[in-house]
């Protein structure tokens, strides 16, 4: 009841966002019960038409697109959450550290990040994943490291601004340690800008994974993955097969949903801090 009331108090954009995110979350959580077929099961001919026997048709080897999308939601959202979480954890930690410690720590970390950023992402992923293999933990590690770099820069910039606030100085004067300052003073106040970034980065994970699948890296089959679904069917588009549009639309929809939700959350958070 309370939740419902809260929901109706939101503006239409936020409501739409929540509907989208909850929809995909349900797909992700209950995939095996919702999906009509298995994610790797071959159910028909190649590229059966959309809205025929199979709602979204079949893919390039005859699997049910709808089922793959539903399982894909589970695989991708899970993976993206984990990866983005790690990226933000790492990036924010280092960013805060650089901003709080300043001096040579900041110099070393910043130069290191500059260095990693200036290596093309795909090449970096290619080199590391070729050496380690594409097991999911490695995939997560590589993407997390890649995305931790821009997060570092944002976190550092934000933390620099917070760090000059009197309450941080007050904590220093109290004799608080580094960890407290980072965790209790900087982190809660950096959440808003970081959250806004989280929304976008979350979706970039899909892109990077699909980019990796272009190079034959990426998620292991038979795990369905939206990026790979776009990739696998993409060549059909020039010939009037609209199949790749469906997973692409899913990625776009989720991106929009998550960003709408994040936007509201950010607005709310910044409203709370505002005095006037």
Instruction: Specify the DSSP class assigned to residue 181.
Output: I
Residue 6 binding other proteins, by CB under 8 A: no
Residue 173 CA neighbour count, 13 Å, CB half? 6
What's the rounded Cα separation, in Å, for the pair 202 and 24? Answer: 14
Residues 82-141 that bind other proteins (CB under 8 A): 111, 114-115, 117-123, 126-131, 133-134
Figure out which of the listed residues 32, 36, 52, 222 binds other proteins, where binding follows CB under 8 A.
222
State whether residue 58 is helix, strand or coil. strand
Residues 184-203 that bind other proteins (CB under 8 A): 184-185, 188-189, 191, 200, 203
Q: How far is the CB of 216 from other proteins (least distance, A)?
A: 4
Q: What's the closest the beta carbon of residue 105 comes to other proteins, in angstroms?
A: 14
Q: Which long-range contacts (CB under 8 A, 24 or more apart) does 238-245 make?
A: 241/47, 242/50, 243/47, 243/50, 243/56, 243/57, 243/59, 243/65
Which is closer to other proteins, CB of 26 or CB of 115? 115
Most distant CA pair in the chain: distance in Å? Answer: 71
Segment lying near other proteins (by CB under 8 A), choices 27-35, 70-78, 91-99, 222-230: 222-230
If we measure between CA atoms, which residue out of 270, 252, 256, 147 comes closest to residue 199? 256
Please identify which residue in 13, 49, 82, 93 interacts with other proteins, judged by CB under 8 A. Answer: 13
Shortest distance, position 117 Cβ to other proteins, whole Å: 7
Ramachandran region, residue 133 (left: φ > 0; alpha: ψ -120 to 50; beta: rest): left
Over the window 227 to 246, marking each residue x when it contacts other proteins by CB under 8 A and - when it does not, the resulting string is x--xxx-xxxxxxx---x--
- Does residue 42 contact residue 62 with C-beta atoms inside 8 Å? yes
| H or E stretch at 159 | helix 136-163
Position 259 contacts other proteins (CB under 8 A)? yes
Residue 57 lies near other proteins (rule: CB under 8 A): no
Residue among 41 and 141 whose Cβ is closer to other proteins: 41
In the complex, what is the shortest distance from the CB of residue 101 to other proteins, in angstroms, rounded to a whole number? Answer: 12
CB-hemisphere CA count at 13 Å for 150? Answer: 14
The span of 69-77, 86-94, 96-104, 171-179 binding other proteins (CB under 8 A) equals: 171-179
Question: Judged by CB under 8 A, how many residues of this single chain contact other proteins?
Answer: 82
């Amino acid at each position: 009841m309370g939740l419902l009331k809260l929901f109706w108090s939101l503006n239409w954009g936020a409501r739409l966002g929540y509907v989208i995110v909850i929809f995909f979350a349900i797909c992700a959580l209950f995939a095996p019960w919702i999906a009509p077929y298995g994610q790797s099961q071959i159910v028909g001919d190649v590229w059966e038409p959309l809205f025929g026997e199979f709602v979204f048709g079949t893919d390039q080897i005859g699997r049910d697109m709808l089922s793959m999308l539903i399982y894909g939601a589970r695989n991708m959202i899970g993976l993206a959450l984990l990866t983005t979480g790690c990226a933000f954890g790492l990036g924010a930690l280092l960013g805060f550290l650089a901003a709080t410690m300043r001096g040579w720590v900041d110099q070393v970390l910043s130069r290191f990040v500059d260095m990693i950023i200036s290596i093309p992402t795909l090449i970096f992923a290619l080199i590391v994943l070729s050496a380690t293999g594409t097991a999911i933990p490695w995939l997560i590690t590589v993407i997390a490291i890649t995305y931790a770099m821009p997060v570092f820069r944002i976190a550092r910039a934000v933390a620099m601004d917070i760090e000059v606030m009197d309450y941080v100085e007050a904590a220093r004067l109290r004799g608080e340690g580094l960890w407290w300052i980072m965790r209790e003073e900087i982190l809660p106040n950096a959440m808003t800008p970081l959250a806004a970034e989280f929304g976008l980065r979350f979706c970039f994970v899909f892109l990077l994974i699909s980019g990796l699948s272009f190079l034959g890296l990426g998620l292991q089959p038979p795990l369905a993955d939206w990026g790979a679904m776009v990739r696998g069917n993409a060549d059909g588009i020039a010939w009037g097969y609209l199949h790749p549009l469906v997973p692409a639309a899913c990625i776009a929809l989720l991106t929009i949903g998550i960003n709408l939700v994040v936007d509201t959350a950010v607005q709310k958070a910044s409203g709370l801090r505002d005095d006037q």
